[in-house]
Structure 1
Amino acid sequence: MHNNKIYRALGMVSLIGFAASSWANSEPVNTLQSTSTLAAPATLHGLIDWAVEHDVAQQQIQYQADAISEMGIANSQLMDPKMKVGIGGLPVDSFAFDEDPMTNISVGLMQQFGRGDSLSLQQKQSQLQAESVRKQADVRKLDVTKAITTSWIELAYLEQSHQLIKQNQDLFRELTRYLSTNYGVGASQAQDLIQAELQVNKIDEQLQSNQQMQQRLRAQLSEWLGEQAWQVKPQAYPQWQALRTYFAASPQDHYPALASHPSIQVADEMIKSNETGVELANESYQPQFGVEVMYAHRQADRMDGSPAPDLVSAFVTLDLPLFTEKRQDKKLSAAQHQVGAARTQRDLMLRQMNAQVRAAAIDRDNTQQRLDRYRSTLLKQAKEKTQAVERGYQNNTSQLDEYIRAASEELTLELEQARLAADLQQANNNLAYLLNKY
C-alpha cells in the first residue's frame, strides 16, 4: 500500500511535468502564461513611449542643439562698431584748446565687415551642427528602446523559468510528504527521503537566484521607468512586425536600410557641416573691409581771425591676404581633411553595422534551428526517459535518485529551451536596433 502512494506521487510528477513541458513548447512570441494577480499591466510600447517622453537626456540634447544654434546666430553677425574719442594737435606748452588751429577734439566710429560670405556660412555651419545634435535624440530614443526591450525579454524569460522551477518544486515537495509519511511507518528508505528533501532545497536556491536576477533587472529599468520598473511583469514577447516585413522581402543588401539609421544621419549632418567648413576656408582668401568715420571739432581761430571749421575724415581699411601659404592654404587643407575624415567615419560605421546585422541574422537563424530541435526531439526524449525511469522504480528495477536525476534533466532541458527562446528574441532586438525596425 505504501508503494501505491509513492507511485501516485510519481504519476503526479509526470502528469504535471508533461503540462509544464507542453507550456514551455508553446510559441513564446505569442504568449507567456499569465497570472491572475496582474491588473492591466503596462505594455512594452507604452513603457518605451513613457521613458522617451521623460528621458532627461532628450532634454539635454535639445538644450545643447539650441545653444549651438543660438551661438551660430550670434557669431554670424557683424562685429560691434567701435567708437574712437581723442584729442589731436594739442600744444604741450600751454595745453590750450584754442591756441593752435590744428588742435581738435575728435569723435569717430569704426565698423569692420566679414570676409566675403563668411558670416552667412558660419551661421549655416552652426545650424548643420545643431541639426546633427538634434538627430542624436533619435539615436538616444533607439538606445532607450533597445535597453528597455532587452530587460523586458530577460524578465519574461526569468518569469517563465520561475514558473517552471516552481512547478517542479511543488511536485518534489508533494513527493517528499509521501516519502516522509511512509518513512514514519517504516515503508520508505531514509536515503529516498533525504534525496527528495535535497532536491527541494536545490530548487529553493534556483528560485532565489532567479529572484535576484529579476530584482537586478528592475533596478536597471528604474533608470528610465522610475518606480514603475518594480511593477513591470511582461506577459508576451515583442511581435517584431516591422522586422518580419523587412526580412520577408529577402533583402540582399542592408546598406539602404542602414543609411536611414539615426547614427548615420548624424554622420551625414557632420559631413555637410564640414563641407561648409571648406566653403568657409575658401572665404579666407577674400579681403576684409573696414570703414572709419571721424568728426573733429576745433576751437581756435585761423590766422586771419576767422573761426576754424570742424573737420570730417573717412577711411576704408582693407587687409590683403597675399601670403597664403602658411595660413589660408593650411586652413583650406585642414577643412578638406575634416571632410574626408567625416566621410570615412560614416563608411566605417556602415561597414561595422552591416557586419553586426549579418552576425545577428546568423545568430537568429541558428538559434531558431536549435529551438526547433528542442521542441521536436530533445524534450520528447527527456520525457520518455523520465517515464521509463518511473516505470523502473515502480517495478523495483531503478532507484529514486535515478528518477530525480531524470526529472532534473528534463527540467534543465525545459529551462534551456526557454533560454533559447529568449536568445532568439534578443537577436531580433539587435536586428531591430541596427535596422531601425522597431
Structure 2
Amino acid sequence: MDCNVKAKYNFLALSLCLAIGAPALAHTKLESQVIQTASNSSLLESTLTLEQIIAIALQQDASREQLFAQSQATLSGGKAKATLMDPTVKFGFGGVPVDSFRLDQDPMSNISLGVMQKFDRGDTIELQTSQAEQQSQAVLQQAKAREHDVITTVTAVWLELGYNQKAKSLLLQQEKWLKQLINNQDSNYALGIGESQDVIAAQLKLSQLQQKLVSNAQVQQKLTAQLSEWLGREWQAKNSGLQASNQLDWHDLQQTLAAHSTAQTRYQLLMRHPVIQSLDSSLASAQTQVSIAEEAYAPQFGVEVMYAHRQANNMRGEPAPDMVSAYITLDIPLYTGSKQDKSLEAAQYQVGAAKSQRDAWLARMGAQLTGLISDRDHLQHRISHYQSHLLKQATAQLAAVERGYQNNSASFGDIVTSSLTQITIELELERLITDFNLTNNQIANLIGDYSSTSITKAERQEK
C-alpha cells in the first residue's frame, strides 16, 4: 500500500474520531477541544463528508479561537486584580542634626526601615475572584455559541448544495425531453404537418431552461465558496466533486420536540442555549458587582511596621537601643453620598439591564422557536400532500398519456408536457424537503439537541 493510500485512510480515521468527539453534529455538548490539523495533501485528495467538514470548520474558525483566548485573558486579568495591594517599603534617616549630619551625635538620630501593607475592604478579593470566573464563563459561552453558528451555517450550506445538485439532475432531465420535443417538431415541420411557432416555442422553453442550469451552477459555486471560509481557497479550486445531500435524519430532534411540547418545557430547552448561559453569567457578574459595591462601605485596614537603628549613645553614655514602631491604619468611608452610594446605584442598574437583556433574548428566541415549529409542521404537511397526491397524480397522468400515444390519441408533445410536469412537481418536492431540513437545522441551533449519528444515518440512506 503506497503512501498516498495510507494518507487517505489515516485522514479518514482521524476525521471520524474528530466528528464523534467534537460537538460537530451532536449539538448537545459543544465542548471545546483541540483537533489535530490534517495535512493539506490529504484534505485536497479526500472526498469530505458533512461530519468531516464540520470538524475542520470548528478547528479552523478564527472567531471561535479568539473567544477562547479572550475567555482565558478575562480570567487571568480578573484574578490579577483580585489580589492584595503590593506592600510599601519605607527607608530613610530620622532625627539627623543639620549642623553635622552625623548619626552618632544625637540619640534621636536613626536609620529606619518600614513596611506598610493595606488590605481590601471586607470580602472584596473573594468577590473579585468570583467575578473574574463569571466574566470568563460568559465569554466561554460566547465561544460555544459561535460553535452553534458554525455548525448551523455549514449544515445549511450542505443542505442547499445537496438541493441544487438534485435540482440540476432534474433540470437535465427536462432539457433532454425538450430537445427530443424540438427534434420531433422539426421533423413534423419538415413533413408539413407542424407549425413553425411550435418549434420556436419549444426552443424558447429550452433557452429558459438552460438559463436555469446556468443559475444553478452559479449557486453551487457560491455555496462551495462559503465552505472555503474554513476549508481554504486551495480546496475550493481543486475539489469540484463534493456530493452533498438535502436531507438528514432528524429522528432525535423529533423525539425532543415531542417530549417538550409545552411552552414551559421548551423554555427550559432555550435556557440551555450558550447565548442564554452567557447572559446568565453576565447577570451573575453584575450581581457580584453589587456585592463588591456594598463592601466599599466597610473600613479599609492597613498595618505598618518600622524598625529604627540608632548609632549614638544615650545620656548615660551607653549605646542607645534600636526602636520598633507598629501602627494600624483605618480608612473610614465617611462621605459616601458622592462615591459609594453612586457606585452601588450604578451596579444595581447594571443588574436590571442584564436581566432585561436576558429576558429580551429569551422572548426573541421563544418567538423564533414557535415560528420555526409552525413552519416545520406546515412543511411536513405539504411534503406529505405532494408525496401522497400530486406526485402520484402526475405519474398517473404520464402513464395515461403514454397509453394514449400508443393508441394514436395523444401526441409526442403531450408526453413531453406530462413528463415536464412530473419533473416540475419532483423539483418542488425537493425544495420543500430542503426547506424542512433547513427549518430543523435552525430549531436544532436553538434547542441544541442532536444525535451525533444523525447525518451518518442520513448519508447511508442516501447512498
Report the Cα offset of residue 217 of structure 1. 1.0
Distance 2:98 2:424 in 1: 106
**1:81–1:339 CA distance, 2 compared to 1 (3 A):** same
- Matched with 1:266 is 278
**1:167–1:40 CA distance, 2 compared to 1 (3 A):** farther
Q: How big is the alpha-carbon RMSD for the aligned residues of Structure 1 and Structure 2?
A: 3.1
Deviations along 1:158-192, one digit per CA (max 9) or x if unpaired, are: 11111110111122223333444565666654433
Unaligned regions of 5+ residues in structure 1, if any?
Answer: 1-38
- Is contact 2:250–2:440 with CA below 8 Å preserved after alignment? yes
Distance 1:233 1:102 in 2: 93
Q: What does 1:4-403 correspond to in 2, within 5 Å? A: 41-180=47-186, 188-226=194-232, 230=239, 231-235=241-245, 237-249=247-259, 251-253=261-263, 254-379=266-391
Of 421-430 and 169-178, deviating more is 169-178
Distance 1:399 1:382 in 2: 17
Of 180-189 and 273-282, deviating more is 180-189
Q: Which amino acid aligns with 1:166?
A: L
- Is contact 2:247–2:433 with CA below 8 Å preserved after alignment? no
Q: Kindly name which structure, 1 or 2, has the bigger radius of gyration based on alpha carbons.
A: 1
Give TM-score scaled by structure 2 length.
0.76
Distance 2:340 2:411 in 1: 91
Report the Cα offset of residue 93 of structure 1. 3.8
**1:40–1:245 CA distance, 2 compared to 1 (3 A):** farther
Distance 2:197 2:57 in 1: 54
Partner SS, residue 200 of structure 1: helix
Distance 2:49 2:248 in 1: 10
Report the Cα offset of residue 268 of structure 1. 2.0
Distance 2:396 2:204 in 1: 24
Partner SS, residue 278 of structure 1: helix
Distance 1:40 1:82 in 2: 64
Distance 2:198 2:398 in 1: 17
Report the Cα offset of residue 214 of structure 1. 0.9
Report the Cα offset of residue 243 of structure 1. 0.9
Q: Which amino acid aligns with 2:107?
A: P
**1:242–1:383 CA distance, 2 compared to 1 (3 A):** closer
Q: Which amino acid aligns with 1:88?
A: G
Partner SS, residue 336 of structure 2: coil
- Is contact 2:181–2:416 with CA below 8 Å preserved after alignment? no
**1:176–1:116 CA distance, 2 compared to 1 (3 A):** same
Distance 1:325 1:250 in 2: 51
Distance 1:228 1:357 in 2: 36
Distance 2:260 2:272 in 1: 18
Report the Cα offset of residue 316 of structure 1. 1.3
Partner SS, residue 321 of structure 1: coil
- Matched with 1:427 is 439
Distance 2:215 2:416 in 1: 21
Distance 1:196 1:336 in 2: 73
Q: Which amino acid aligns with 1:168?
A: Q
Partner SS, residue 372 of structure 1: helix
Partner SS, residue 79 of structure 1: coil
**1:175–1:399 CA distance, 2 compared to 1 (3 A):** closer
Distance 1:194 1:386 in 2: 24
Partner SS, residue 84 of structure 1: strand
- Matched with 1:4 is none
Partner SS, residue 419 of structure 1: helix
Q: Which amino acid aligns with 1:368?
A: Q
**1:397–1:152 CA distance, 2 compared to 1 (3 A):** closer
Distance 2:352 2:343 in 1: 14
Distance 1:381 1:76 in 2: 74
Q: Which amino acid aligns with 1:140?
A: R
Aligned-pair identity in percent equals: 43
- Figure out how many residues of one structure are paired with residues of the other and give that number: 399
Report the Cα offset of residue 71 of structure 1. 1.8
Report the Cα offset of residue 59 of structure 1. 2.2
Distance 2:54 2:235 in 1: 12
Deviations along 1:356-400, one digit per CA (max 9) or x if unpaired, are: 1111111111222233333344455566777888969x9799996
Give TM-score scaled by structure 1 length.
0.80
